[in-house]
A and B are shown apart, each in its own frame.
Chain A
């Protein structure tokens, strides 16, 4: 049971939440309702001719092979990004947990990349792996790998996954470190006395106890890969080559702002809104109660 605050005044609580409500209304409900309305219109870019078409845009979007491709791309991208960033972060967190000297320094360094803006992270990786001028691309070529993410879809995908995952490692690291600290040392020591080796201890004690954190991070990372990686994709591949890195969010931008098909674009963003509402619901229903925030 959480303690309840009881206000003597009936109006005061409403006044106190009013600013937050106003912000939500202006910045969420208003644009969201506009998107809903727009998603049922067929319109020219200037809005000179407008026609109400009910769910025709949704039908069109969902039957478009490019949209299905985009769902596939998003699935591969999100799962890979979440997997790479979480595995790397967990490994680093376990290592950092063992360090005794200058622990704070290591942690600070690990958290640093989180402060980098997505588009800048994208440019950074782009420069390293640019087929013409990238220093790491040069090394790859020296190793006999035909590195050309401008034309090879799978290489472009690897590049955006690396850039997106690299940026998210810090965040995951932070939560894993907190999760590790919450595990009672006595459990691990007891297992060690019973003769369990390091790997055994990790898989049977540490990893299961980290499960709530891992599940929480899985949801957060998926949401991140879905919605916050636009800048990286825009800077690194622009959705190409072909349509091999065009995620759902990127397609919303491309159809709306480049191709100027506002109805389709709005329908896609409504679908994305439904997805993010579902993800948030999952998070609140199952995760929020079980995660220990350090």
Chain B
């Protein structure tokens, strides 16, 4: 933390120096967690914005992983040197929302730039996730994704499964996975990244099951978890049973399972739509499908990250941030971002443009998460999940899932423990 404070102070003083040296230009710092190709997108966007006008200058700064970036921002705020814009991942959304005095709602910032914020331009599922219960948009959606299904077509063919029709329900997934394993087409049938995000949060929304009270935390902070209800128990018991003979293979708490799928060890894979890039790059003969459901699909919820604006900055800076957000919302920019990076488009216009360009006919996988999110108007179970300590609660669930998959406890025990421990942690964090 000490390093981060020093780094923050250093970054702030550098920013200060450069502002005084270039009179007219207002510098806006943007802390982010993007690496590789996504980092290039950040750099390109900043450069394009800086060249498009002469009043403001966006300075992107890479701050490490998502949690590291969040911690750096918090430490910088405590040292009274926060950046102007900070990228925060989905699980950190509740943390930021709980810090009301520290942030400036994106909707307010946009209206300071002279353009009234029009909610209807944006994809409803995404905007709702980053808004207060009264509808005020708190952060600006930057990179959103949703989980979908991937499968290895070569393994499917070897196992005698229909290569063009991926399983639609979870029961079909279990059956297909067993067939892959028993036919010897691959050593494992199914694997998944992010068990918490995909198999509890999205599993609940997509099937319209209750994940927690208070609309999963969207309506208020005192949430009680409901994930030890029967559908969850059945789902996780199925995973635990499949794990016994290796039909389901666990990769780790975050994206580690991607390596297992890319190595051709498992035939079916549930993962964020944002993971498509690596799968394309690997040259695998892959197929995609909607995230499986139990009986009838509702809608999935967004993951990824959004841009938060810190409070206590000058009006000039907020004007610059508004200009930058408007720049990001431009249809051309959004459409390109979506097509190049695989993030979901934030505006409806960008979605329509991409559709009109015929992009989805060539790249059907890119439309799946949008269809999943837009298919139906969200219910109180499917607006999203929001807790002031979601990272902690996810860790608690992961610990219990790991014990379950190791055969130390049943799904019922694992979920009961996750609920009681999770509820205690939520209570502790919210009072």
Contact = CB atoms under 8 A, between A and B. Distances in A.
Interface of A: 31, 44-48, 132-133, 150-153, 238, 240-243, 254, 256-261
A31 B2 contact: yes
Contact of B395 (A153, A256, A259): A259
A238 B265 CA distance: 24
Interface centre among B78, B391, B406 (most CB of A within 10 A): B406
9 contacts: A45-B99, A132-B251, A132-B263, A150-B251, A151-B402, A242-B402, A259-B395, A261-B428, A261-B429
B333 interface: no
Interface of B: 1-2, 67, 71, 74, 77-78, 95, 98-102, 243, 250-253, 259-260, 263, 265, 389, 391-392, 395, 398-400, 402-403, 405-406, 408, 425, 428-429
Nearest to A237: B252
B389 A260 contact: yes
Nearest to A154: B406
A164 B95 CA distance: 35
A241 B406 contact: yes
A269 B403 CA distance: 28
A46 B259 contact: no
A255 to B, nearest CB: 9
A46 B406 contact: no
A45 B252 contact: no
A94 B158 CA distance: 57
Contacts of A257: 1, 67, 71
A238 B392 contact: no
Contact of B259 (A31, A44, A132): A132
Given A46-B77, A47-B78, A133 B399 contact: no
B369 to A, nearest CB: 27
A55 B150 CA distance: 51
Contacts of B67: 257-258
Contact of A150 (B1, B74, B250): B250
Contact of A258 (B243, B395, B428, B429): B395
B82 to A, nearest CB: 10
Given A47-B78, A133-B263, 8 more contacts: A47-B77, A48-B99, A151-B406, A240-B253, A258-B395, A259-B389, A259-B395, A260-B392
Given A44-B99, A257-B67, A259-B392, A241 B74 contact: no
A238 B402 CA distance: 13
Contacts of B402: 150-151, 240-242
B244 to A, nearest CB: 11
Contact of B406 (A153, A243, A256): A153
Contacts of A150: 250-252, 402
Contacts of A238: 253
A260 B250 contact: no
Contacts of B95: 45, 260
A153 B429 CA distance: 28
A152 B403 CA distance: 8
B311 to A, nearest CB: 10
Contacts of A44: 98-99
What 10 pairs across the A-B complex have the smallest Cβ distances?
A241-B402, A259-B392, A151-B406, A46-B99, A46-B102, A242-B399, A242-B403, A47-B78, A48-B101, A242-B402
Contacts of A240: 253, 398-399, 402
